[in-house]
Amino acid sequence: MSAITPREQAFIEARAVLDRARARRDALPIRQAAEQAAAGSFRSADEVELILRRLHRTARAGHMPAPGAPAAAA
């Protein structure tokens, strides 16, 4: 028998799953993340790596929030 999950609880659980996935993604070395992101994309791993490195530099400079900041903090 399955129970019905209240909508609010479903949102909380989904947010937690997304936050864990983002944390795993952000723990990857940039090159590995670029290779995974390029799979099935029209961009090469080298292009994606350049984009990621540029985003990281911009985030470190304080111009935008860090990529993959936990959504719960937003």
User: Which residue has 């947010």 as its token pair?
Assistant: 15
In order of 9, 10, 40, the CA distances from 48 in angstroms are 36, 33, 12
Q: Which two tokens stand for residue 32?
A: 């590995």
Domain ranges of the chain: 25-67
> Minimal CA–CA distance to 38: which of 26, 28, 46?
46
- How far from 8 is each of 5, 13, 59, CA to CA, in Å? 8, 9, 32
pLDDT digits (tens, 9 = 90+) for 15-36: 999 999 889 888 899 999 999 9
Pick 39 or 59 by higher pLDDT. 39
pLDDT at 68 over 80: no
